[in-house]
Structure 1
Amino acid sequence: MRTTGAVAPSGRALAHTLTAPVRSRAPRPLTVLEAGAGTGAVTRALIPQLPPGSSLDVIDANPRFAARLRHLVATAPHPAAGTGTHPRVRIDVHHTRVEHLDTDRRYDVIVSGLPLTNFTPREVETIMSRFLELLRPGGTLTYFAYRGTRTARALLAAPAEARRHRAVDEIMAGYRRRCATDRHTVWRNLPPAHVWQLRRPLSVLPAPRPAATGAAR
C-alpha cells in the first residue's frame, strides 16, 4: 500500500471507467499515455480499445512492474492492423517517472494510475503540471482516488501525514475546479473509487497557487 497506493490491482469496472475517453474518441487514431501502470490491470483493458494507427506509451517507475508490463505488451493480442494510413497500434513501455519522460509527443488521452495521495504536495504539483503539458489542448486526463481515504488518514495517521494528505487533496480540488468534466463512482472495485476526467483547456491555464510544504512520503 505504501509504495503502490493500492491493496489490489484495479478491477475491471475501474479499468473500464478509466479508459472511457479512449472509447469516446474512437475510431480515429489516438496518442495515449498510461502513467503508473503497475501490474498492467488497466493496460490489459486499454490495448483492445485502441483504434488502428494509435500509439500507446506505458510508464512505471518500478523496475519489476516495467519488466512485467513489457511481457504483457509482448504477449497481449493487439488490435488488428488497419489499411492505408491506419497501421497496427504501436505500444512502448518506459521505465521512468512521468516527470522524466523524454518525449515530444502530445497525447489525446492520459490514464493515470499514480497514487497521488502517497506523494508530497510539491511532487503532486510537478506531476499535474507535467500531465497538462503532455496533453493536447482539449485532451483528457483520467485518474482515480479511493473513497474514504481522507477520513481514514485523519483518524489513523500521524498529524504530519494527515496534513500532507489534506494538502494533496486541496491541490487536486483546485485542478478539478478548473478542469473537471465528469466524475464517476466505481463501487465494484476493492476498495470503491472515484474516477475524475479533467480536460486541458484550449487556452492557457492560470498558474496554480504554490503548494503547501508537506511531509516526505
Structure 2
Amino acid sequence: MTQNPPPFAPRGEALLHFRKWLRHGRSVAALTPSGQALSAASVRRVSAEYPQTIVELGAGTGAVTRAAAARMHPDSRLLAIESDVDFARMLEQTVPRAEVLCASAMSLQAILAAREVTRVDVILNGLPTPSLPQPQRDTVYQAIADLPGQPWVSQLTVMPWVFWRFYRRFFEEVHFEAAWRNLPPAGVYHCRGLRPLR
C-alpha cells in the first residue's frame, strides 16, 4: 500500500535551499524546493506494485526523494545523488530509505558500477539539463544510454512546455505532465528511449 508522503519543504529546508540558490544561482535550478504537486508528478513512474531501481540526480533537500521513498515498493532501491554536502547531509537525516551519495552526476557510470547496479528502471532528474554545458549533458545522457533496457527519465522543469522540442531531440518518447499547483507552476517531462548522441 502506498503511504502518503510526509510534509514537503519544512522551513529549515526551504531556507537552506534559498541560501544555496542565492550563492550558486542556476546550478541549483530553482528558487525553492519542489512542492508536493511537482514531487508527486515527478515520481509517477515509480511503482508501488513491483521492485525497481530508482536513481535521483540532483536530489537537493529531498522533496522528490521523500515522495519516491513513500511511493516505491518495499524491495525497491533508491539512490539519491547530490553534489552539495549540506543537501546530502540533510537527505541522510530525512530520507533513511535512500542511499545518499554525495557525488557529481557526471560520475554516474562509476557510481553505478561501484554499487553493482546493472539495471535502472527510473531516473528522477532534478538537474537543470537544458542549462548544462554540452559535455556535461552528454556525459549524463551517455551513462543513461549505456544502461540495459530503456529506463524512464523524469525531468523536472519550472518552465512548463518550453523545453518540449529540446527533449524530443534526445528521446523517442516524451510525455509532459503539468504541476500547475506548484509555486511557481512547473512540470515533468517523462522521457524514454534515448536517441544516439551525435
TM-score bucket of the superposed structures, by smaller chain: 0.7 to 0.9
Comparing 9-18 with 140-149, greater Cα deviation is found at 140-149
Whether the 8 Å contact between 1:121 and 1:171 is mirrored in structure 2 is no
1:65 aligns with 2:74: no
Deviation at 1:132, TM superposition (A): 2.9
The CA RMSD measured in Å over matched residues stands at 2.3
- The residue number in structure 2 matching 1:131 is 144
- The residue number in structure 1 matching 2:15 is none
- The residue number in structure 2 matching 1:103 is 112
Task: Measure the CA separation in 2 of the matches of 1:129 and 1:48.
Answer: 29
1:52 aligns with 2:74: yes
Aligned partner of 1:61: which letter?
S
Deviation at 1:3, TM superposition (A): 2.8
Whether the 8 Å contact between 2:51 and 2:73 is mirrored in structure 1 is yes
Deviation at 1:149, TM superposition (A): 10
- The residue number in structure 2 matching 1:162 is none
After superposition, what is the alpha-carbon deviation per residue over 1:105-160, rounded to whole angstroms, capped at 9, x for unaligned? 121111111112332122222222223334x413211002222796xxxxxxxxxx
Deviation at 1:175, TM superposition (A): 1.3
Structure 1 residues not aligned, in runs of 5+? 79-90, 151-167, 210-217
Q: Choose the corresponding residue for 2:197, options 201, 204, 208.
A: 208
- The residue number in structure 2 matching 1:179 is 173
Q: Choose the corresponding residue for 1:145, options 133, 157, 162.
A: 157
Structure 2 residues not aligned, in runs of 5+? 1-24
Distance change (3 Å), C-alpha of 1:195 and 1:98: same
Distance change (3 Å), C-alpha of 1:187 and 1:8: same
TM-score (norm 1): 0.69
Task: Measure the CA separation in 1 of the matches of 2:58 and 2:100.
Answer: 11
Whether the 8 Å contact between 2:160 and 2:187 is mirrored in structure 1 is no
TM-score (norm 2): 0.75
- The residue number in structure 1 matching 2:55 is 33
Task: Measure the CA separation in 1 of the matches of 2:185 and 2:157.
Answer: 9
Task: Measure the CA separation in 2 of the matches of 1:52 and 1:148.
Answer: 32
Whether the 8 Å contact between 1:111 and 1:142 is mirrored in structure 2 is yes
Task: Provide the secondary structure at the position in 1 that maps to 2:87.
Answer: helix
- Greater Cα radius of gyration, structure 1 or 2: 1
Task: Measure the CA separation in 1 of the matches of 2:39 and 2:61.
Answer: 13
Task: Measure the CA separation in 1 of the matches of 2:100 and 2:157.
Answer: 24
Distance change (3 Å), C-alpha of 1:54 and 1:149: closer
Whether the 8 Å contact between 2:62 and 2:91 is mirrored in structure 1 is yes
Deviation at 1:98, TM superposition (A): 1.9
- The residue number in structure 2 matching 1:19 is 43
Task: Provide the secondary structure at the position in 2 that maps to 1:183.
Answer: strand
Alignment size in residue pairs: 168
Aligned partner of 1:67: which letter?
R
Task: Provide the secondary structure at the position in 2 that maps to 1:32.
Answer: strand
- Moved beyond 3 Å, runs of 4+: 168-173
Whether the 8 Å contact between 1:125 and 1:171 is mirrored in structure 2 is no
Percent sequence identity over aligned pairs: 31
Task: Measure the CA separation in 1 of the matches of 2:153 and 2:43.
Answer: 10
Task: Provide the secondary structure at the position in 2 that maps to 1:53.
Answer: coil
After superposition, what is the alpha-carbon deviation per residue over 1:140-189, rounded to whole angstroms, capped at 9, x for unaligned? 11002222796xxxxxxxxxxxxxxxxx986534114x232x21111111
Distance change (3 Å), C-alpha of 1:35 and 1:129: same
